[in-house]
Amino acid sequence: MTAAKQKKQESIVVRGARTHNLKNITVSLPMNKLTVITGVSGSGKSSLAFDTLYAEGQRRYVESLSAYARQFLERMDRPDVDEIIGIAPAIAIRQKNSTKNPRSTVATQTEIYDYLRLLFSRAGTTICHKCGREVKKDSPESSADEILAELSEGTRFFILFPIQEEVSRDLVRAARKGKPAKTKSLSTQAFLISLMQQGYSRLYRGGEMIELQKPEDYPHDDFDNTFVLVDRLAVSPEIRQRLVDSLETSFREGHSAIIETTDKRQLKFSDGFVCKYDGTRYEEPEPQLFSFNSPFGACSTCQGFGNTIGTDYDLVIPNPLISLKDGAIDPFTRPTNAWAQKELLKYAASANIDTKIPYADLPDYQQNCIIYGDEGWRGLKGFFEFLETKKYKLHVRVFLAKYRGYTRCPDCDGQRLRQAARDVKIGMHSLPEIVDMSIADAHNFFNALGLDVERAAIADKLLLEIRRRLKFLVDVGLDYLTLGRLAATLSGGEAQRIQLATNLGSLLVGTIYVLDEPSIGLHPRDNTRLIGILENLRDIGNTLLVVEHDEETMRAADNIVDIGIHAGELGGELVFEGKFDELLKSERSLTARYLRGDSVIKIPKTRARVNESIEILGAREHNLKNVTVKIPLGMLVCITGVSGSGKSTLVHDVLYAGIKKKRGEWNAHVGLFKEIAGAEQIDDVILVDQSPIGRTPRSNPVTYVKAYDAIREAYAATNASKSKSY
């Protein structure tokens, strides 16, 4: 084999790439290595990485599938390139969150939820929600062991099985159809004869043994609390086999066994999934039982969403930092509802509820009384139920609509699963409780989880996969998220890192991963862990192409490709290809000039003086702990901190939403805060996030910034346009 052919096998060779502004470039990218593609914004990095390499890798993979499979997959156009050699199936991980499914969560996206469903169905313990005891199916062998362990040697006992409830009901029903009260029904006689023919000659009822020589010996016309005697034994080591045989008979005939000792002690066993203490019947755990996407497992009230449409008490009490006396209950501030405010204050005085402190500072039980009612007070719930009876009036319907929203499901308490699924525990936690944990807490929980030998053998591989995936999420800096966090609420960077952790967990090899600036939004503390994840993906046999500007990531790369020199028409050229140390020596690369320090971003020697500012007082939303912060106006202000520290909560949920609400331009949820002082100095507040700015194919940057209006007016003012009446 020639050296040239050997090189082709070790590299992805791109020849004559002309996608978008790329100027017929040719580049060789080493396989199974980490390559960073850098350059100024608009130079053509994404055109090479996504629109050329990813597009061709995906296109070839899809073309290799059957015609039937291809119809379900996205078809990509062939990129404008002469030749690509050595391309493999490609996966793109972009800086955006495209998830719209309201059921999708962090746990489902990372496949952790699938493993949790299997774990709970195979190794979970069902706990009776009435008596708190374990529910399990008994076998003759396990029942015999428990009997011999529970009863002391020499104890005499009866082995009984109950006459099945449905048989007893049928006989009673037949006995009451036109029969004289003193005449035993023929169906009851037939049943007794059947028992006698099977060899059962004794019945046990109410502590009394009834000998059956003939049907007439049974003095009753029903079989309530009546049992059939199978055997009589005294506890000793020699009786185990006979005990097992008798229990097998009881399970076969009555699906359960009752052990009654001579001192009236009773033990119950069942071959069904039934609580032996209170008789509650449960579903046997199956993976489908733990799926909120399945009617079998989802809460029937909220259909697995965790919330229902009803009175939203966050809208009723929009600012809990206000006292009851000052109008914390928003609907009671309306003049037409002044009577309700008087009733509330009267009730508060009788119940010793302080009306001068913030509502949020009231004890939980007092808040519950205010909302759900108490003796002499129907509560906010009762107030809205009263209004529901008047909603045939238009103004009442309009009023109710202002306080209607998605609220936590009253049946499952937002846990999305039916009661049977919530009764199954592992380590004393149900599946919804684990999903409500942060990733860091869940990681610690499963690392410390201890199971008995039998369950450990079943759960060993499942726990391994769960721990691996949780570790990957911790490593990419997402340990602050909960497993139940809705995927649609994630930022673009969080969604990208979740996709990265998911792909690492899948252990794919021989794949090209194309990533779009994964370090955006990361604190330097988390950046090192991200690089470790990228290196792990590379080390198991994958090729990574990372579009990136971060110096730390470039230093960790095996290969650097610099596209430039400038943006747009002045870009699209291959400026540099090689190692990072060699890049630093490049005189042509603009990136190298900044890395060497030849070009720098100048820091002003003097700063503008702060004349005006706004102040956020007492911000308490999510993890913010009563934060008070002053923000100068007319300045560039940077809010920083580690991932999950509360930056977005402060800016988006408190500052932006709070000012919009004050201006009457916001109807959604507003983060908790006491006050935004100085907000009257703000003319407008605009949120610039990672959402796409245009949603129509006709939109472009010129139309978006309204410049096209001036262009149209200029053309319309020409003589040629006027002559044609344009």
Number of domains making up the chain: 4
Residue 173's pLDDT is 53
C-alpha–C-alpha distance, residues 643 and 457, integer Å: 37
Q: End of a domain among 408, 440, 470?
A: 408
- Helices marked H in 198-284 — which ranges? 240-254
Considering the domain boundaries, does residue 15 fall inside one? yes
SS3 of 392-456: the string is CCHHHHHHHHCCEEEEECCCCCCCCECHHHHCEEECCEEHHHHHCCEHHHHHHHHHHCCCCHHHH
Within this chain, do residues 506 and 589 fall inside the same structural domain, yes or no? yes
Considering the domain boundaries, does residue 716 fall inside one? no
Other C-beta atoms lying within 10 Å of the C-beta of residue 586: 18
Burial of 218 (0-12, 13-18, 19+ CB in 10 A): buried
Within this chain, do residues 548 and 579 fall inside the same structural domain, yes or no? yes
Within this chain, do residues 46 and 77 fall inside the same structural domain, yes or no? yes
Quote the radius of gyration of the chain (alpha carbons, Å). Answer: 36
Half-sphere exposure of 267 (CA within 13 A, CB side): 18
Q: End of a domain among 541, 568, 596?
A: 596
Looking at residue 607, its amino acid is R
Within this chain, do residues 264 and 142 fall inside the same structural domain, yes or no? yes
Residue 694's pLDDT is 67
Within this chain, do residues 618 and 587 fall inside the same structural domain, yes or no? no
Asked if residue 168 has pLDDT above 70, the reply is no
Within this chain, do residues 538 and 654 fall inside the same structural domain, yes or no? no
Question: Mean pLDDT throughout 476-483?
Answer: 88
Predicted confidence band of residue 380 (pLDDT cuts 50, 70, 90): very high
Considering the domain boundaries, does residue 640 fall inside one? yes
Lowest mean pLDDT among 25-39, 116-130, 635-649: 635-649
Asked if residue 378 has pLDDT above 70, the reply is yes
φ/ψ bin of 306: left (φ > 0), alpha (ψ from -120 to 50), beta (otherwise): left
∠ Cα 438 131 447 (to 5°):
25
Asked if residue 613 has pLDDT above 70, the reply is yes
Give pLDDT tens digits for 14-24: 999 999 999 99
Provide the percentage of residues in the chain whose pLDDT is more than 90: 56
C-alpha–C-alpha distance, residues 192 and 181, integer Å: 19
* Exposure class string for 114-147: b at 16+ Cβ within 10 A, else e: bbbbbbbbebbbbbbeeeeeebeebebeebbeeb
Within this chain, do residues 584 and 623 fall inside the same structural domain, yes or no? no
Classified as helix, coil or strand, 87 is: coil
Classified as helix, coil or strand, 163 is: coil
Q: Are 92 and 514 contacting, i.e. CB atoms less than 8 angstroms apart?
A: yes
Considering the domain boundaries, does residue 300 fall inside one? no
Classified as helix, coil or strand, 295 is: coil
Within this chain, do residues 183 and 217 fall inside the same structural domain, yes or no? yes
Strands (E), 67-224: 81-85, 90-93, 125-127, 134-135, 156-162, 202-205, 208-211
Question: Mean pLDDT throughout 317-340?
Answer: 92
Considering the domain boundaries, does residue 713 fall inside one? no
- DSSP H or E segment with residue 630: strand 627-632
Question: Mean pLDDT throughout 308-336?
Answer: 91
Residue 106's pLDDT is 94
Residue 30's pLDDT is 95
Residue 181's pLDDT is 41
Lowest mean pLDDT among 121-125, 159-163, 641-645: 641-645
Residue 376 is encoded by which pair of tokens? 């002499």
| Dihedral, 530, 533, 534, 540 alpha carbons, nearest 10 | 180
Distance of CA 429 to the CA centre of its chain: 16
Asked if residue 183 has pLDDT above 50, the reply is no
Considering the domain boundaries, does residue 128 fall inside one? no
Please give the residue that has the higher pLDDT: either 260 or 277: 260
Question: Mean pLDDT throughout 493-509?
Answer: 83
**In Å, how far are 46, 534, 543, 547 from 38, measured between CA atoms?**
10, 16, 17, 6
Asked if residue 387 has pLDDT above 70, the reply is yes
The DSSP annotation for 274-285 comes to B-TTT--B-PPP
Distance of CA 720 to the CA centre of its chain: 61
Predicted confidence band of residue 169 (pLDDT cuts 50, 70, 90): low
Residue 46: which of 28, 20, 70 has the closest Cα?
20
Residue 106 is encoded by which pair of tokens? 């962090």
Longest alpha-carbon distance in the chain: 121
Residue 690's pLDDT is 67
The residues, any chain, with a CB within 8 Å of residue 413's CB and separated by 6 or more, are none
The residues that bridge with 630 in the sheet, in sequence order, are 615
Asked if residue 167 has pLDDT above 60, the reply is no
**In Å, how far are 5, 315, 363 from 368, measured between CA atoms?**
76, 16, 9
Residue 460 is encoded by which pair of tokens? 């060993």
Please give the residue that has the higher pLDDT: either 471 or 693: 471
Task: State the first-to-last Cα distance of the chain, in angstroms, to the nearest integer.
Answer: 69
Residue for token digits 């009231």? 362
Asked if residue 8 has pLDDT above 60, the reply is no
The DSSP annotation for 511-578 comes to -EEEEE-TTTT--HHHHHHHHHHHHHHHHTT-EEEEE---HHHHHH-SEEEEEESSSGGG--EEEEEE
Cis peptide before 259 (omega within 30 of 0): no
Residue 489's pLDDT is 82
Query: What CATH number should be reported for the domain holding residue 249?
Result: 3.30.190.20
Mean pLDDT, the chain, rounded, equals 88
Give pLDDT tens digits for 639-686: 988 777 888 889 999 999 999 988 878 877 788 898 899 999 999 999
Q: Are 550 and 519 contacting, i.e. CB atoms less than 8 angstroms apart?
A: yes
C-alpha–C-alpha distance, residues 96 and 691, integer Å: 8
C-alpha–C-alpha distance, residues 449 and 426, integer Å: 9
C-alpha–C-alpha distance, residues 270 and 137, integer Å: 6
Considering the domain boundaries, does residue 292 fall inside one? no
Residue 602's pLDDT is 86
Other C-beta atoms lying within 10 Å of the C-beta of residue 658: 23
Asked if residue 2 has pLDDT above 50, the reply is no
Within this chain, do residues 565 and 505 fall inside the same structural domain, yes or no? yes
Strands (E), 248-346: 256-261, 266-270, 307-311
- DSSP H or E segment with residue 365: helix 364-372
**In Å, how far are 236, 477, 520, 552 from 525, measured between CA atoms?**
67, 9, 13, 12
pTM above 0.85, yes or no: no
Predicted confidence band of residue 187 (pLDDT cuts 50, 70, 90): low
Give pLDDT tens digits for 536-556: 899 999 999 999 999 999 999
Residue 142: which of 8, 301, 267 has the closest Cα?
267
Query: What CATH number should be reported for the domain holding residue 327?
Result: 1.10.8.280
**In Å, how far are 123, 426, 460, 468 from 457, measured between CA atoms?**
9, 15, 6, 18
Residue 422 is encoded by which pair of tokens? 């919530």
**In Å, how far are 24, 525, 621, 677 from 654, measured between CA atoms?**
50, 26, 7, 13
Residue 166's pLDDT is 47
Q: What is the DSSP letter of 618?
A: E
C-alpha–C-alpha distance, residues 40 and 565, integer Å: 8
Residue 164's pLDDT is 65
Q: Are 646 and 671 contacting, i.e. CB atoms less than 8 angstroms apart?
A: no
C-alpha–C-alpha distance, residues 243 and 265, integer Å: 18
Within this chain, do residues 159 and 249 fall inside the same structural domain, yes or no? yes
Residue 255's pLDDT is 86
Residue 483's pLDDT is 95
Please give the residue that has the higher pLDDT: either 693 or 367: 367
Considering the domain boundaries, does residue 324 fall inside one? yes
Within this chain, do residues 236 and 198 fall inside the same structural domain, yes or no? yes
Asked if residue 159 has pLDDT above 90, the reply is yes
Within this chain, do residues 623 and 585 fall inside the same structural domain, yes or no? no
C-alpha–C-alpha distance, residues 582 and 565, integer Å: 17
Handedness of CA 616, 622, 624, 625 (dihedral sign): positive
Asked if residue 135 has pLDDT above 70, the reply is yes
Q: End of a domain among 596, 630, 645?
A: 596
Predicted confidence band of residue 253 (pLDDT cuts 50, 70, 90): confident
Give pLDDT tens digits for 202-241: 888 878 888 887 777 777 766 777 889 999 999 998 999 9
Give pLDDT tens digits for 402-460: 898 888 898 999 999 999 999 999 999 999 999 999 999 999 999 999 898 989 999 99
C-alpha–C-alpha distance, residues 627 and 556, integer Å: 38
Q: Are 128 and 275 contacting, i.e. CB atoms less than 8 angstroms apart?
A: yes
Predicted confidence band of residue 616 (pLDDT cuts 50, 70, 90): very high
Q: Which residue range(s) make up the domain with 238?
A: 137-270
